[in-house]
Amino acid sequence: MACAFESHAYVIFGATGSLSNSKLLPALFQLHCCGYLATNVKILGCGRTPYGRADWRTSVRTLLTGAATEDNHLEDFLRRLDYLSGDLHDPAFYQTLTAWVSLSECACNLIFYLAVSPELYAPVTNGLAQAGLLNERNGWRRMVIEKPFGHDLSSANDLQQRLGRVLEERQIYRIDHYVGKQSVQNLLVLRFANMILEPLWNRHYIDHVQITHAETAGVGNRTGYYDKMGATRDMIQSHLLQVLALLAMEPPVSLDAEAVRDEKVKVLRSIRPLTLSQIHESAVRAQYAGYLAEKGVAAASRTETYAALKLHVDNWRWRDVPFYLRTGKHLKEQRWMVAIRFREPPMQLFRDADATAVHPNWLLIGIQPEDIVRLEISARVHGLETRTRPIAMDASIVTLGERKADAYEELLLEVIQGNRSLFLRYDEVQAAWAIIDPLMQAWADDRTSPPVYATGTWGPVEADRLFGQSGRKWRQTLTCNADRDWEC
């Protein structure tokens, strides 16, 4: 496949770290194999590991062996790689980087990827600026920044101010790999390419919405990061609120990046603030049993490994429709899904005909591991009695044998193309922190320990209180048991 993209250099800070090894290098390799990288594109790794070019190429060869469809793909990819070792706080390192750029035929256009800890975002950016490497006299410069963008609204504002001194907003690509998942992007298509859904997509027909991100694993080797952030900051502030915004947004005037992001920001700004008096009934936190025994976790840590929220979008379309968000570790199943429950008919016409209760209708969107859209409706059971059961209409997004691209492949390609629609604008980040900050402050002031839930369950029973007396409950799976009164 011929490549129509501009030549450039991808400069990865933290090139030997886990993010680079598990996501960035495999994604760049797939872009190489598919012909999306111009012939003279270079990938420069930067970090403290005392590697030379040959060392890094050997390490990457080991990493990618088995991923290549043909041996020549891997060898061609390795020839793109170079490496600079040094202290990212040392101005001399950036002078060395400047010298490398001046000798590279493709480095008039530069992408800097900060795959480093958040406290290095500003120092690395300042080092690049002081060395003149962010100047766009002879080509473009783009900066990719991983989450978290701050740990609260104040720190996010501070980081934005520091970056804003040396970068323009159009140069900053705040990456959220969750938004890069094709199943998440499909939410836009479901919303705006199907007229069958639009008349129903409002408070008159939708009872409530659930967004679930459940993991079976614990914190693993991320305790240093996780014990400071917790489930709410790690998942809800970024990933789950982005999904909520995509579900609830109004039709944009176009698919232009700014038009889409304008509508998402409107949704986030419309979310009803959580007041101190509402937090008990609108938010739940908990820890899995054994979290305090994890290596690196503070002995009296109150960090939540499970969080659930009830939010309301106070606008014309969604007024009084609750959005339930939950995420947790060491839960029963690995499941990322959206469950939309529709309102019941205004009259139960079959109630007096020896029929079972009419089952509620659901639209289910599996994000991972299932990439599926399922609509559940009620139908008559064959027989002499008038009885109903739920039936499902399924549509798998990925066909059998089809390769599913990793989110990072598309996101890295979007940076090359200069398309910012899948990246977060700062007012999105700011609005999300404004939602979460009051909750985090209230939990920080609460000196009681969070409840503990058993591993391998769906989390704490306290999360059920978010539904009140409404008759609602958490949707756990993408399938239902019709013989057990729709236990899902």
Beta-sheet strands, E only, within 235-387: 283-288, 306-312, 322-328, 335-342, 362-368, 372-380
Tokens matching residue 320? 């009084």
* Under 8 Å between Cβ of 208 and 300: no
CA distances from 379 to 139, 359, 393 (A): 61, 9, 12
Beta-sheet strands, E only, within 181-265: 206-214
Maximum C-alpha span of the chain = 85
Residue 119: which residues within 8 A CB-CB, separation 6 or more? none
Distance CA 206, CA 292 (A): 40
Distance CA 456, CA 288 (A): 9
In single-letter form, the type of residue at position 180 comes to G
Helix axis angle, 426-445 to 257-270, nearest 10°? 30
Q: From its phi and psi, is residue 375 left (phi > 0), alpha (psi between -120 and 50) or beta?
A: beta
Nearest to 339 by CA among 392, 380, 389: 392
Nearest to 426 by CA among 260, 273, 235, 265: 265
* Under 8 Å between Cβ of 4 and 106: no
CA distances from 346 to 205, 350, 486 (A): 11, 12, 20
Distance CA 239, CA 229 (A): 14
Q: How far is CA 193 from the centre of its chain?
A: 23
Q: Which of 8, 32, 239, 359 is catalytic?
A: 239
* Under 8 Å between Cβ of 309 and 236: yes
* Under 8 Å between Cβ of 190 and 197: yes
β-bridge partners, 194: none
* Under 8 Å between Cβ of 11 and 93: no
In the residue annotation, 208 being an active-site residue is answered as no
Catalytic residue numbers?
A: 239
